[in-house]
């Protein structure tokens, strides 16, 4: 048993070393052609019937995109942020966050385009938290656009992000949603959001009330 486990662990180390070498070889003298290759790989992965294989490829693509800059990078990461698989979204969000710290303007422009389109609901629910983590003042303006979205989940995410950003100037904008009765779906293991009086999930108005309490406490 011990020898077998040692052998398996050695295989893991060997595979990891091979992966690192392959990445270094791919990224050598990287440029637009390399970025185009990643985009093609993403398109291929998204068309695969094997969800596990697709997710593995997309997570690796998200990691590789961290080695590049330019508007295309943010666009590709936002595509991945719209994926159904949480692990893919986590990988894309991590890389997008790192990019946002160093090149916020590029990320913000890509998010603006995403908001203008308004269709990538999964990504639009994730974007506010990325903006809140980055903490740039411009993130407030983007979240103020997102609270007007027709999807309750997008609005709720933007409300929570505004509370995290901690800018009391948005109180008047949030007050307009205080009576919003749209119910927000929450994960089954999410115990932080209190149910509404009807017994369902919290409403947008419930979340707005919590955000307002927090923001007003910052003013005092």
- Residue 178 parent element (H or E): none
Say what the pLDDT of residue 189 is: 43
Q: How many CB atoms lie within 10 A of CB 93?
A: 23
For residue 183, report the phi and psi dihedrals to the nearest 5 degrees.
-85, 135
Handedness of CA 114, 118, 119, 124 (dihedral sign): positive
Whether the CB-CB separation of 106 and 74 falls below 8 Å is answered with yes
Say what the pLDDT of residue 199 is: 55
Q: How far apart are CA 23 and CA 140, in angstroms?
A: 37
* Residue entry with tokens 């740039």: 136
Maximum distance among all Cα pairs of the chain, rounded to whole angstroms: 67
**How remote is the C-alpha of 189 from its chain's centroid?**
19
CA angle 209/214/220 to nearest 5° reads 125
User: Which segments of the chain does DSSP mark as H helices, in order?
Assistant: 2-27, 32-46, 51-65, 71-81, 86-102, 104-117, 121-134, 138-146, 152-165, 171-175, 204-219
Mean pLDDT per block of 10 residues along the chain (220 residues) reads: 93 96 92 95 96 97 95 97 97 97 96 95 97 96 97 97 96 96 74 53 95 89
Q: How far apart are CA 31 and CA 184, in angstroms?
A: 43
Query: Model-level pTM?
Result: 0.89
Structure tokens at 181: 């009765």
Structure tokens at 54: 């697709």
- Domain locations in the chain? 32-117, 121-220
For residue 58, report the phi and psi dihedrals to the nearest 5 degrees.
-70, -35
* Residue entry with tokens 């185009």: 36
Structure tokens at 217: 């406490």
Say what the pLDDT of residue 220 is: 63
Q: How far apart are CA 64 and CA 60, in angstroms?
A: 6
Q: How far apart are CA 215 and CA 11, in angstroms?
A: 53
Q: Which CATH number fits domain 32-117: 1.10.760, 1.10.3470, 1.25.10, 1.10.10?
A: 1.25.10
Structure tokens at 37: 């290759």
Say what the pLDDT of residue 136 is: 95
């Amino acid at each position: 048993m011990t020898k077998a486990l040692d052998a398996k662990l050695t295989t893991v180390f060997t595979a990891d070393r091979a992966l690192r070498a392959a990445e270094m070889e791919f990224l050598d003298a990287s440029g637009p052609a390399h970025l185009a290759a990643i985009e093609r790989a993403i398109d291929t992965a998204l068309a695969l019937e094997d969800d596990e294989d697709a997710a593995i490829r997309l997570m690796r693509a998200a990691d590789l995109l961290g080695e590049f800059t330019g508007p295309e990078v943010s666009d590709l990461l936002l595509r991945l942020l719209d994926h159904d698989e949480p692990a893919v979204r986590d990988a894309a969000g991590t890389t997008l966050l790192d990019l946002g710290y160093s090149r916020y303007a590029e990320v913000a422009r890509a998010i603006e385009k995403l908001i203008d389109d308004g269709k990538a609901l999964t990504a639009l629910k994730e974007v506010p938290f990325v903006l809140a983590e980055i903490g740039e003042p411009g993130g407030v303006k983007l979240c103020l656009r997102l609270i007007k979205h027709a999807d309750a989940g997008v609005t709720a995410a933007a409300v929570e992000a505004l509370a995290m950003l901690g800018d009391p100037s948005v109180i008047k904008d949030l007050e307009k949603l205080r009576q919003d009765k749209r119910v927000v779906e929450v994960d089954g293991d999410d115990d932080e959001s209190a149910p509404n009086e009807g017994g369902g999930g919290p409403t947008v108005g419930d979340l707005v009330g919590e955000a307002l309490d927090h923001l007003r406490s910052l003013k005092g």
